[in-house]
């Protein structure tokens, strides 16, 4: 590891000059061409500042802590972590990861992060609900991901569930569907009521009636399958908006039992896509992708902009992000999701069907 001192010696300048030049603080301190010269020799020597030494001095580490409850309980955690890591990497930050197991190790993990001097915290939940960051974080730079903060000081970032429901439903309407069913979830999740709200709004905006009989909340396994089956018999829907992939499965299953073909007789839009669905269903359901990657990505960027006290350049993220959330501090960020077409929507000669 080459040090600042060695650069100084080689470039014939003082340590101060080198430090100044390397941090682009030449202002009225170091002559322009000397600064250039220093930077060039530094580069040629492959000089990289030692983050430890720098941090010890500045008490800033250019690291952020990612705190996740039960990282592995959902398959989405990986996406979120990846997004956050991508943003951190783009901005020259490192990410420290800790897991909390719900058994009270949270405090000690956070304490560990504090000791290592992270500049800020990403506090990640695994599905949107009203939540609070622990008091030990409330005065630190913190962003809450995938949960709604009740503490208005803490920015949070959640999927735009209403838009999901709206987009899915509007898409089905556009494609010419007549009786659009909503297969919801009986667990009382926040996402459930919000997606339903979007569904209803889309119908209303299209001057369609809302038929409560087309809306079913189902649980799991046999019971759920039966409930969906009953719906098929009762209302013969020609389109389905499904709360999640398990619900999509029930619909496909019921359709198969009746000899109905997805993409011809019925249309299906689902949320997210399990690997099983990818490897077993034909045609693939049209899907709204859950924005876990984006939540991680924008959460980390937001956090770092707070840390650095200024807005960041717009991200050059390699994944397509439907909408760049504003970075003004107060408001929550709602991420709009992307619709992925997969040919499971019947072409009824209309706009969406024709695409």
Residues that bind its own copies (CB under 8 A): 48-53, 55-56, 61, 63, 66, 70-72, 74-75, 77-79, 81-82, 85-86, 89, 94-99, 101, 105, 109, 111-113, 115-117, 220-222, 224-225, 245-246, 249-250, 253, 274-282, 293, 318
Select from its own copies, DNA, none the partner in contact with residue 5, using the beta carbon and a kind-dependent cut-off of 5 to 8 Å: DNA
Select from its own copies, DNA, none the partner in contact with residue 97, using the beta carbon and a kind-dependent cut-off of 5 to 8 Å: its own copies
CB of 6 to its own copies, least distance (A): 16
| 44 part of the interface to DNA, by CB under 7 A | no
CB of 25 to DNA, least distance (A): 6
324, burial (CB in 10 Å: exposed 0-12, middle 13-18, buried 19+): middle
Q: What is the dihedral sign for C-alpha 41, 45, 46, 51? A: negative
280, burial (CB in 10 Å: exposed 0-12, middle 13-18, buried 19+): exposed
Q: Which is nearer to its own copies, 166 or 243 (CB)?
A: 243
Site string for DNA, 289-308 (x = CB under 7 A): --------------------
CB of 152 to its own copies, least distance (A): 29
Select from its own copies, DNA, none the partner in contact with residue 246, using the beta carbon and a kind-dependent cut-off of 5 to 8 Å: its own copies
Q: If you count them, how many residues does the chain have? A: 355
Select from its own copies, DNA, none the partner in contact with residue 169, using the beta carbon and a kind-dependent cut-off of 5 to 8 Å: none
What are the residues facing 95 on neighbouring strands?
Answer: 64
For residue 169, the tally of other CB atoms under 10 A from its CB is 27
Select from DNA, its own copies, none the partner in contact with residue 19, using the beta carbon and a kind-dependent cut-off of 5 to 8 Å: DNA
| 118 part of the interface to DNA, by CB under 7 A | no
202, burial (CB in 10 Å: exposed 0-12, middle 13-18, buried 19+): buried
Compute φ and ψ for 83, nearest 5 degrees: -60, -45
Nearest to 199 by CA among 244, 164, 239: 164
Could you tell me if 111 and 134 are in contact, meaning their C-beta atoms sit under 8 angstroms apart?
Answer: no
Q: Which is nearer to DNA, 94 or 329 (CB)?
A: 94
| 57 part of the interface to DNA, by CB under 7 A | yes
Separation CA 300–CA 309 (nearest Å): 14
DSSP state letter for 32: H
Give the Å distances, CA to CA, from 129 to 125, 207, 293.
8, 31, 18
| 54 part of the interface to DNA, by CB under 7 A | yes
Task: Specify the pairing of strand 142-145 against strand 156-159.
Answer: parallel
| Binds DNA by CB under 7 A, chosen from 10, 45, 49, 312 | 49
- Total of chain residues touching DNA, rule CB under 7 A: 29
Site for DNA, rule CB under 7 A: 1, 3-5, 13-17, 19-20, 22-23, 25, 28-32, 34, 47-50, 53-54, 56-58
């Amino acid at each position: 590891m080459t040090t600042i001192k060695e650069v100084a010696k080689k470039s014939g300048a003082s340590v101060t000059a080198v430090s100044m030049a390397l941090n682009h603080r030449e202002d009225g301190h170091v002559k322009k061409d000397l600064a250039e010269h220093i930077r060039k020799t530094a580069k040629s020597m492959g000089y990289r500042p030692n983050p430890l030494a720098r941090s010890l001095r500045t008490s800033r580490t250019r690291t952020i802590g990612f705190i996740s409850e039960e990282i592995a309980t959902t398959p989405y955690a990986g996406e979120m972590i990846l997004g956050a890591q991508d943003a951190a990497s783009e901005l020259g930050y490192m990410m420290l990861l800790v897991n909390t197991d719900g058994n009270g190790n949270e405090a000690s993990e956070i304490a560990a992060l504090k000791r290592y001097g992270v500049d800020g915290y990403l506090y990640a939940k695994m599905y949107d609900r009203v939540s609070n960051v622990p008091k030990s974080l409330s005065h630190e730079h913190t962003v809450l991901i995938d949960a709604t903060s009740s503490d208005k000081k803490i920015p949070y970032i959640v999927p735009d569930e209403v838009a999901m429901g709206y987009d899915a439903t509007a898409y089905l309407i556009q494609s010419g569907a007549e009786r659009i069913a909503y297969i919801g979830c009986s667990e009382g999740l926040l996402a459930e009521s919000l997606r339903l709200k979007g569904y209803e709004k889309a119908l209303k905006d299209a001057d369609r009636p809302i038929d409560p009989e087309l809306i079913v909340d189902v649980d799991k396994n046999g019971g759920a399958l039966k409930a969906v089956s009953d719906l098929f018999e009762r209302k013969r829907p020609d389109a389905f908006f499904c709360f999640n992939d398990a619900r999509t499965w029930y619909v496909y299953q019921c359709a198969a039992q009746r000899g109905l073909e997805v993409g011809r007789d019925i249309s299906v839009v689902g949320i997210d896509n399990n690997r099983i669905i990818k490897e077993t269903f034909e045609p693939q359901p049209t899907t709204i992708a859950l924005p876990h990657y984006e939540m991680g990505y924008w959460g980390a960027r937001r956090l770092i902009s707070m840390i650095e006290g200024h807005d960041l350049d717009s991200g050059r993220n390699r994944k397509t992000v439907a909408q760049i959330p504003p970075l003004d501090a107060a408001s929550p960020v709602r991420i709009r999701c992307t619709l992925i077409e997969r040919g499971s929507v019947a072409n009824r000669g209309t706009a969406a069907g024709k695409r």
